[in-house]
């Protein structure tokens, strides 16, 4: 386990990957972090690298004004970091974020390949552990639209009702999630046994499928659905989408079904995990008086107090459970029992209700019968 006092330098610390890495290192208790950004001058950089014990080199150029900037920002700056460490006689382990495009014969790919070769030479000449990660498309929070990735652009535009362009929905993207990248990078602090390394969790998804999912996330506010959180990619993509919500649109309204008894409001609906609703009962009001064949529920009173009553349709015996927001406990509503809930207090009683299936008007499975 790496020492929390380890002196770590991070280039490109204000960028997408650098910002996430720096934040997580702080979360894990690393206290000696030095960041190198575009505003760091040469003397400041030398001062940082003089006593550093590990370097994450994440700075680079991927969308320049002219192609000549690729060589300056990727190859030349990498060599500058390595030459400075040599000059200071402080050859330390280093992790560099490269790109899968390093195998391509274009200006960006060639600049990344040259940076990799410089790191290879540095590692060999100084017999020091280094790690080179040829990252595919990285997505996640704090990424920039029209810069870091197509996913950032799609999430941003769809969240803001802006148009998007999909030339070929069947194009397959190779993707890694920022948290998986950061986790893998931090593991390198404990040593690296190979020079070229990979993020173990990789997702391959078609562009059209990604766009369809993002649009479904936007629609979920109206249909009250949630994504399939047991799907690792969908879970990560949903988190990414939420990070692009406009700051004045974090909230959204729910449709409250209100009458003289109180209100009933659907909160979350899922296909395979049921539905959650919020029930508010006015003082003295009784709701329910029905039973189900297969539909089952869980009631949790979170404010006020009352009683939940049960009776089998062919029996006279009534079972009572007294409930209160002062003592949170869940009451299961088994099938085959007619049941109701009565507010015994002088204020509104609030109940969180879960049911194992969304309401289907074609098959409500609800039969009214007084308890």
Residues with catalytic function: 108
C-alpha torsion angle, residues 206, 212, 214, 215 (rounded to 10): 160
> Within 188-327, where are the H helices?
207-223, 232-242
Q: Which of 91, 117, 9, 17 is nearest to 60 (CA)?
A: 17
Cβ proximity of 9 and 85 under 8 Å? no
Tokens of 278: 């919020």
Going by their DSSP bridges, the two strands 338-343 and 286-291 should be labelled as antiparallel
Residues recorded for the chain: 371
3-class DSSP assignment, residue 301: strand
Q: How far is CA 87 from CA 80, 90, 91, 114, in A?
A: 10, 8, 9, 20
Tokens of 259: 């009458």
């Amino acid at each position: 386990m790496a020492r929390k006092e380890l002196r770590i330098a991070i280039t490109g610390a204000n960028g997408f990957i650098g910002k996430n890495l720096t934040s997580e290192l702080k979360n894990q208790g690393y206290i000696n972090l030095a960041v190198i950004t575009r505003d760091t001058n040469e003397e400041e950089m030398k001062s940082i690298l003089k006593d550093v014990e590990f370097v994450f080199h994440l700075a680079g150029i991927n969308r320049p004004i002219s192609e000549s900037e690729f060589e300056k920002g990727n190859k030349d700056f990498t060599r500058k970091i390595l030459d400075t460490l040599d000059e200071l006689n402080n050859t330390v382990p280093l992790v560099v974020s490269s790109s899968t495009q390093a195998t391509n014969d274009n200006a960006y790919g060639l600049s990344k390949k040259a940076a990799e070769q410089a790191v290879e030479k540095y590692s060999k000449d100084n017999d020091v552990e280094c790690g080179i990660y040829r990252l595919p498309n990285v997505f996640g929070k704090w990424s920039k639209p029209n810069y870091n990735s197509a996913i950032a652009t799609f999430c941003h535009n769809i969240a803001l009702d802006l148009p998007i362009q999909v030339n070929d929905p069947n194009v397959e993207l190779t993707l890694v999630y920022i948290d998986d990248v950061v986790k893998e990078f931090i593991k390198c602090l404990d040593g690296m046994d190979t020079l070229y390394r990979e993020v173990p969790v990789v997702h391959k998804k078609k562009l059209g499928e990604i766009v369809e999912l993002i649009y479904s996330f936007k629609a979920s506010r109206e249909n009250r659905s949630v994504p399939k959180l047991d799907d690792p990619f969908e879970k990560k993509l949903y988190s990414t989408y939420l990070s692009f919500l406009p700051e004045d649109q974090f909230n959204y309204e729910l449709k409250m079904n209100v009458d003289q008894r109180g209100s009933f409001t659907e909160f979350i609906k899922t296909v395979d995990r049921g539905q959650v609703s919020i029930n508010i009962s006015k003082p003295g009001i009784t709701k329910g008086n029905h039973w189900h064949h297969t539909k089952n529920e869980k009631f949790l009173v979170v404010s006020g107090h009352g009683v939940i009553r049960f009776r089998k349709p062919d029996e006279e015996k009534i079972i009572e459970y007294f409930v209160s927001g002062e003592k949170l406990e869940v009451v299961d509503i088994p099938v085959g029992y007619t049941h109701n809930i009565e507010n015994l207090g002088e204020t509104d009683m609030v109940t969180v209700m879960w049911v194992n299936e969304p309401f289907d008007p074609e098959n409500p499975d609800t039969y009214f019968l007084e308890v």
